Structure 1
Amino acid sequence: MSDTTAAGTRPAVLVGALSLGVTTVALLQSLVVPALGRIEEQLGVSAGAAGWVLTANLLAAAVLTPMLGRLGDLRGERPVILGILVAVSLGTLLAIVTESLPLLLVARVLQGASYGLFPLSMSVLRRELPAARLGVAMAVVSSTLAVGGVVGLVTTGLLTGDDGDYRNAFWVGLGVALASLVLAAWLLPHRRVTTTGRIDWWGALVLGLGLVLLLLPVSQGHLWGWGSPATIGCLAGSVAVLAGWVVLERRLADPLVRPAMLTDRRTVVPNIAGLMTGIALFASFLAVLEYVQSPPEVTGYGFGAGVLEAAVVYLLPGGIAAILLAPFAGRVVGRFGALPTLMAGAASGVAGFALLAGLRGEPWLVILAGLLTQMAVTVAYAALPALVVEAVREDETGVANAVNSIARAVGQALGSTLAVTLIAASLDPDTGYPRAIAFTLVALMGAGASAAVVAVALLGMRSDRRSARRHGDDVDAATAGGPEWSPVSGLR
């Protein structure tokens, strides 16, 4: 079992195949961010209409991810992963060939199914790998979410530049999706399904509606107006629908998500941490990209970088660091526990955002700030799957990680929207560029989100210690020389 998985595939090969698949999630999400202006120009649409290219993808992910995670738990991960990759490949091909915004939105909806790849990959790893290798494997696969985001931004810079066709970047996405499909068909193990139950289609529909009503104002509130009837109505509707969903799930023998799972402290901690990490991730991306591209002769700040330079010089170092850090972060999780690792990584994020808020006058300082914030995201993505897996049964691994994925996606949407709102609110009418205070506020928002992760991890550790004392672990410690180690809290 140390050299091959239960299905005969070498663990390193399986981890590589799953990592490539998960890379498509962040790659397809991020590569359109720098290209929104080009989409607006080439398709002849408004900035608000072009923004739906991001929103449609996020809404599809919210609707599909929990259902796909549960479908994998009940029907097996292999067929679901293959189906997702086929849909993503078709959607990416459509994005390349279409010159219509409605069809581009259809393509982005199909690409939104890619969010299901991450929770299903965690399920495969949990079942196929021995416990000694699971932590590092989950960290490596999970870290590709952070790496893929940087790769998407760099790819767009390389292939579109300031005047290129936005469709060029999708060719890379198509290549990665097709390569992932081939590897998945070749390497993913077949398994006999032993989990019983049925798909809660009504629960999936109601949950999807509630999440759509939540994410619409989160992603469009800066355009609609935060006090507009549409924003308030959607938020109120989301609360009502999600409350009704909880009532519905409690009455079902085979719910999509056990309501108790959502209120269990062991899952609440990683879900809150995932939400805040998502906010920090996009606060860092958008603040750095906007700041370094600002012309100093006009604004008094920034470095006048082009799209390509901004991505390669200021963001790529963080992506490379994430690749190198992921296996080490997995070993740290195994040695010291997920919560201490999560707290240490988030502290790096606080330092990075503090640097970006107060000392961003030199390029190397901005690069260093990006490295620190990217390290925080990578460490969080290494620790979060360990927390989720520790908290749920094996037959709930897919749907539990799907819920955590949605928490991160909501955080990314919220971080992006808040950053855009802060920057837009600080525009100087004389120059047309935001005032410098906007970047300070965005950086402070990221620092606050990272600090919230530190606080959540610390509370989780304290709760674990109290729980250990209640269950008499202090008696065991008297005979064994110390409390037993926990893979979550790191308590000894």
Structure 2
Amino acid sequence: MSTAAPTPVADARHRNETVIVFALSLAAMVVSMMQTLPVPILGLIQGDLGTSTANVSWVTTATLLSAAVFTPLLGRFGDQHGKKPTLVAVLGVMVAGSVIASLASSLPLLILGRVLQGAATAIFPLALSVLREEVRPQKLPGAMALVSGTLAFGSGLALVATGLLTSGDDADYRNAFWMATGFAVLALLAVVFLVPATRHKTGGRTDFLGALTLGIALLLLLLPISQGHEWGWTSGRTLGSFAGAAVMTAVWVLVERKVREPLVDMGMFVHRPVLMANLAGILVGFGMFANFLGVSYLVQMPQALTGFGFDASILRASVQFLLPGAIVSLLASPIGGQLVRHRGPRYVLGIAAAFGAVGFGWLARDHAHTASVIGAGLIVGAAVSFGYAAMPAVIMASVPHHQSGIANGINSISRSTGSAIGSAIVTTILASQTIEHLPAGVPPLPAESGFTLTFGIGAIAFALVAVISWLGLRGQHGPRIVEGRGTDSFDRAQAHPAAQ
């Protein structure tokens, strides 16, 4: 039985799909780099700009808050008015922010640059929406998984590259931001020349009131999460911000139920698969940052003073202990895509949960040997990559075409929220559990029990992902993404809400 030879048109489409996936993967990798880029150099920034620890923490907080505000708005804007123009504009803003951060001679100017870099987080949901238009359905899970996998890889790559660029005695933290500028320009050129113009535009009015109320609610939620350690978890500012977040969330829901063209369709937002994917996003984002920060702090502990740790420099911590897991994240992403295609996202999310629980459990039980720390990091890296491959597939199979940008934007925020929670919890645990008897003049150092607890909580987080996969996504067997119209599962949920 013979098969027809591929036509020139089919060959051209296959090549186009490849270059589109490459361009969007590069853009997603660059935006993920922006989130973790300054983590190893906060001390250098603090010393160079002569500011306090509390103030310099805004270099990371500003990016998180900016992403929370702009990602849903720009995701929806891309659905309405064109994804490529929105992508190009967002990448242009990221380039400008990177240049400002590179040239900044004061903390406010550096924070401004970081705010502009944070707005680029909207690239990820926009990229997934472009893939849904341009990639054949049978290839779509793999393409989404590859783009998603670059998120974990980019986060790890930023830590390693920053360590390399700031390893000398006269290190300048601005080199890291110039590197970010170069990557941002490269991503912008790739999207301009390799990504085709948008075919689907929904049009309509932009729900600025919904965007404003959602942005305020997210600001009030993420601000105390990221600053609670400095403010005090029971302080008036922290508790007041959480209370304000609850109030503004209620206001946002009310607004979205009243406006004619809401930013977020509440039916889509509470649709069970979408809701479960967002909960999984929080937990996987938490796990990723718990691994990055926990391992980074652990291996830099001075063994002579603490009795544990590896006396590693920032460079060694990044290259020897974090880079292998980041590479595995990238290599695992196409495998995750194939598994999503053949077995469904629920199955892949279950594998991610098992890997994550095993990896963190290994770290909690044995973090005294180099092989254990690196080996566990490899397993956690694969877990994060599989989790990132599964979540967009769940969402794409569960929402109509015109809501894919905003749905993935909300999922991106859930992962960022999880990362913020992970950073806050790790910082709080390590600061609260310190070694009691240290030589005079030595600053407080975390006790080993703090690291054990951190890794134990990471294992619990992935165990909860297993519960979501097993119970929350029951009945979600595989992606059914149909070009140009809504999915069956979402349509059924709208017709028969009780069934979901």
Fold conserved between structures, TM > 0.5: yes
Structure-1 separation of matches of 2:377 and 2:78 = 36
CA distances 1:369-422 after superposition (whole Å, capped 9, x unpaired): 111111110000111110010110111111000000000000000000000000
Determine whether 1:200 maps to 2:207: yes
User: Displacement, 1:252?
Assistant: 1.5
Give 2:472's aligned residue: 460
- Label 1:68 to 1:461 Cα distance change in 2 as closer, same or farther (>3 A): closer
- Label 1:357 to 1:153 Cα distance change in 2 as closer, same or farther (>3 A): same
Amino acid of the residue matched to residue 94 of structure 1? I
Determine whether 1:449 maps to 2:449: no
* 8 Å contact kept, 2:152–2:330: no
Give 1:476's aligned residue: none
- Label 1:269 to 1:2 Cα distance change in 2 as closer, same or farther (>3 A): farther
Determine whether 1:386 maps to 2:393: yes
Aligned match for 1:316, one of 302, 314, 323:
323
Paired residue total: 463
Give 2:435's aligned residue: 428
Aligned match for 1:157, one of 160, 163, 171:
163
User: Displacement, 1:17?
Assistant: 0.4
Aligned match for 1:3, one of 5, 11, 17:
11
Structure-2 separation of matches of 1:280 and 1:232 = 25
Structure-2 separation of matches of 1:222 and 1:238 = 18
Determine whether 1:81 maps to 2:87: yes
Give 2:113's aligned residue: 107
Aligned match for 2:297, one of 286, 290, 302:
290
Give 1:440's aligned residue: 452
User: Displacement, 1:193?
Assistant: 4.6
RMSD of equivalent CA atoms = 1.3
* 8 Å contact kept, 1:61–1:112: yes
User: Displacement, 1:2?
Assistant: 4.9
TM-score, normalising length: structure 1: 0.92
Helix, strand or coil at the partner of 1:132: coil
User: Displacement, 1:114?
Assistant: 1.3
Aligned match for 2:418, one of 398, 411, 414:
411
Give 1:328's aligned residue: 335
Matches within 5 A, 1:276-287: 276-287=283-294
User: Displacement, 1:295?
Assistant: 1.1
Structure-2 separation of matches of 1:444 and 1:315 = 19
- Label 1:464 to 1:335 Cα distance change in 2 as closer, same or farther (>3 A): closer
Amino acid of the residue matched to residue 128 of structure 2? M
- Label 1:249 to 1:363 Cα distance change in 2 as closer, same or farther (>3 A): same
Structure-1 separation of matches of 2:267 and 2:237 = 32
- Label 1:2 to 1:33 Cα distance change in 2 as closer, same or farther (>3 A): farther
Give 1:65's aligned residue: 71
* 8 Å contact kept, 1:43–1:99: yes
* 8 Å contact kept, 1:210–1:239: yes
* 8 Å contact kept, 1:63–1:204: yes
Aligned match for 2:148, one of 128, 132, 142:
142
Aligned match for 1:45, one of 45, 51, 59:
51
User: Displacement, 1:3?
Assistant: 3.5
Give 1:301's aligned residue: 308
Amino acid of the residue matched to residue 464 of structure 2? A
Structure-1 separation of matches of 2:328 and 2:15 = 28
Structure-2 separation of matches of 1:191 and 1:131 = 17
Amino acid of the residue matched to residue 3 of structure 1? D
CA distances 1:264-289 after superposition (whole Å, capped 9, x unpaired): 10101110000000110100001100
CA distances 1:431-452 after superposition (whole Å, capped 9, x unpaired): 3211100000110111111111
CA distances 1:339-393 after superposition (whole Å, capped 9, x unpaired): 1111111110100101110111110100011111111100001111100101101
Give 2:21's aligned residue: 15
Determine whether 1:241 maps to 2:248: yes
TM-score, normalising length: structure 2: 0.91
Structure-2 separation of matches of 1:133 and 1:181 = 25
* 8 Å contact kept, 1:293–1:305: yes
Helix, strand or coil at the partner of 2:221: helix
Q: Which runs of 5+ in 2 are unaligned?
A: 1-8, 439-443, 478-500
Helix, strand or coil at the partner of 1:387: helix
Give 2:483's aligned residue: none
CA distances 1:130-186 after superposition (whole Å, capped 9, x unpaired): 101100000000111000001000011100126411111112211110011111111
Equivalent pairs: percent with the same residue?
44
Amino acid of the residue matched to residue 107 of structure 1? G
- Label 1:193 to 1:336 Cα distance change in 2 as closer, same or farther (>3 A): closer
Structure-2 separation of matches of 1:286 and 1:218 = 16
Amino acid of the residue matched to residue 88 of structure 1? M
* 8 Å contact kept, 2:273–2:473: no
User: Displacement, 1:428?
Assistant: 2.1
Give 1:478's aligned residue: none
Structure-2 separation of matches of 1:245 and 1:162 = 49
Structure-1 separation of matches of 2:200 and 2:466 = 39
CA distances 1:81-128 after superposition (whole Å, capped 9, x unpaired): 100111100110111111100000000000011100000000000011
Structure-2 separation of matches of 1:3 and 1:379 = 29
Structure-2 separation of matches of 1:396 and 1:463 = 22
Structure-2 separation of matches of 1:180 and 1:31 = 17
User: Displacement, 1:307?
Assistant: 0.4
Structure-2 separation of matches of 1:310 and 1:120 = 33
Helix, strand or coil at the partner of 1:427: coil
- Label 1:85 to 1:2 Cα distance change in 2 as closer, same or farther (>3 A): same
User: Displacement, 1:254?
Assistant: 0.6
User: Displacement, 1:425?
Assistant: 0.3
Helix, strand or coil at the partner of 2:139: helix
Structure-1 separation of matches of 2:257 and 2:11 = 43
Helix, strand or coil at the partner of 1:196: coil
- Label 1:328 to 1:217 Cα distance change in 2 as closer, same or farther (>3 A): same
Q: Which runs of 5+ in 1 are unaligned?
A: 466-492
